[in-house]
Amino acid sequence: MTAKVALVTGGSKGVGQGIAVGLGEAGWTVHVSGRDPERLQETVDRVGAAGGHGVAHGCEHTDDGDVQRLVAEVHGSAGRLDLLVNNAWAGPGMNHVKPERLWERPLSDWDTLISVGLRAHYVATHTAAPLMIDQGSGLIVNISSVGTRAYLHSTLYGISKAGLDKMTHDAALELRQYGVTVLSLWPGLVRTKQLLASGVDNIAGVPVTDAETPELQGRVLAAIAADPDLHSHTGEVFITAEAAQAYGVTEPDGGSPVSPRLMFGGGPIFPPLPPA
């Protein structure tokens, strides 16, 4: 059976690299994009070691044309695109332990949190959608955050993630008749190299000891993508920890993650899509 093809934007480190590795464990061909060739190669090597096939692509995600070129290049190389993971993100150096208020932050935060964290995802989705419509299938996953509902990091961070989840909901509405599924994934606190090197012991009241691994995100996405009833969930938000429990997915060490749902008081993100 031919391996399924994924594109993970921002796949050179952190959550993006973990997603690529988790998909590689499931035998996927994983294309990853970013600006650092050495880090991209590290991801490609890890995907290969996990049992998949990795391919690196340089991309400047602030450039609409480069994002469009990336998506078209990946689709052209394999003749299809089964999964687009919108993950590219540029953090503007926020204080995650003691967040600064919006008037204390520079206006340039917009250029990273919105131009990369929202616009680049929209451009990639805009480019991938007709390709997936033509093939009659496909999955688009936006890596969002509990920051949609809970205050986290900064006001603008919440704006960017809420916009991303609204894009998930409305794009799902427009694409569902064509067999294309759109979802958001909310990781909990993730145990990236950057987080571990920071010396911080908790963020927003969540202990680092409860943090998820980057690889768990990819394992969960592989399980979601393999669900024969996947399309019935289009437009929904999946919380990584809860999806892991539902699909029987564990951390690399066998542990189970803790859901961050209490951070926003529970309840749904969006109601189900209205009848077609």
**Residue 201 burial by Cβ neighbours in a 10 Å radius (0-12, 13-18, 19+):** exposed
CA distance 224 to 54: 20
CA distance 6 to 267: 31
Query: Which residues are marked as active site?
Result: 157
Please count the CA atoms within 13 angstroms of the CA of 82 that sit on its side-chain side.
Answer: 17
The closest of 88, 62, 84 to 71, measured between CA atoms, is 84
For residue 79, the SS3 value is: coil
Contact predicate 224/4, CB 8 Å: no
Pairing of strands 53-58, 180-186: unpaired
CA distance 126 to 178: 15
- Rg of the chain over Cα atoms, rounded to whole angstroms, equals 17
Exposure string for 58-89, b = 16+ CB within 10 A, e = fewer? ebbbbebebbeebbeebbeebebbbbbbbbbb
